[in-house]
Amino acid sequence: MKRLLFLTGILMMGICIDSTAQFFDSVEELTYYTREWQGERFEDGRPKVPDGILARMEKVSIEEAWGVLRSRGYNNQFEGNWEMIHPDRPVVGRALTALYMPRRPEVMDRITASGQEAGRVGAMNSWPIDALEQGDVYVADGFGKIVDGTLIGDNLGNAIFANSGNGVVFNAGSRDLEGLSEIEGFNAFVRGFDPSYLMESMLMGINVPIRIGRATVFPGDVVLAKKTGVLFIPAHLAEEVVVQAEFIMLRDMFGHESLRKGIYTPGEIDGRWSEEIKDAFLKWVDDNPEGLPMTRKDLDEYLKARTW
């Protein structure tokens, strides 16, 4: 039954375990449903993908990562059509999720009272911000509401960046576009900007599975947000996505240079490579070690288990 409650996001504020915990004792459930991840976890149970993987992920294109996920059967991890503060500034990090619903008075009163008893401070839309760690991305489902659905303004934006060093992805609105744009390093992917305040919404869960458009998002997923859209990568696939993308980038660099120089035809580069092209590619890697997305050692390790 606890797992059923976890999946449906039906939360009871009164059984949270301490003021820094999630709304309910979901560490066991979160670990169970993300058990493919074998690495380190946060105290709240979220997979903690290493910072090094996140740094490498910034260079990965949406298309490259999307292709890897599709090949593994993850067909519902992308959502497009966003408003952004800085279209050319990616947001990459570990998802801390929040679930909002339209306000129901008696439920909101009880959530607020239970939150205050547990030591939470301020309006409930600030509570997820208090839980952020460095490297997190605050991902919220605000049921697509823009007018009166602005989850943050520039005050909360500054708090978010102070706690996470990162940005946000909201299936909802935001206010104070000018003020948010002045936060160095911050970016927001939202459904729209509006001067209104947040009204008639209530927070129903922190670090629970949520839906962002056509994507299913779990706490600890790696967020890859670029102007194309936002991809939510299961933690256990993050390193695979990075390594495969780096190999594709390396192949493309060689292929583009070979095409510009007229060494090979488009058909030869786009098709299955001959042994001659493979040998030329490996020699090119050895001759151009600077600025490549993979070292020759990493490339050899990658090719041991794969055909190309």
Q: What pLDDT digit, counting tens, does each position of 75-126 carry?
A: 999 999 999 999 999 999 999 999 999 999 999 999 999 999 989 999 999 9
| Alpha-carbon dihedral sign for residues 20, 26, 31, 33 | negative
Q: Is the pLDDT of residue 297 over 60?
A: yes
Q: Compute the C-alpha angle 254/258/259, nearest 5°.
A: 120
Q: Is the pLDDT of residue 21 over 50?
A: no
Joined together, the tokens standing for residue 220 give 């600890």
Please give the residue that has the higher pLDDT: either 197 or 7: 197
Q: What pLDDT digit, counting tens, does each position of 260-292 carry?
A: 999 999 999 999 999 999 999 999 999 999 989
**Rg of the chain (C-alpha set):** 22
Q: Going from the N-terminus, what domains does the chain have, and what CATH number goes with each?
A: 2-48+80-233 (3.50.30.40), 239-304 (no CATH)
What average pLDDT does the chain have? 91
Average pLDDT of the segment spanning 156-174: 98
Q: Which of 26-30, 96-100, 198-202, 213-217 has the lowest mean pLDDT?
A: 26-30
Q: Residue 184: helix, strand or coil by DSSP?
A: coil
pLDDT value of residue 26? 73
Q: What pLDDT digit, counting tens, does each position of 183-207 carry?
A: 999 999 999 999 999 999 999 999 9
Q: What are phi and psi of 210, to 5 degrees?
A: -135, 165
Q: Give me the percent of the chain exceeding a pLDDT of 70.
A: 92
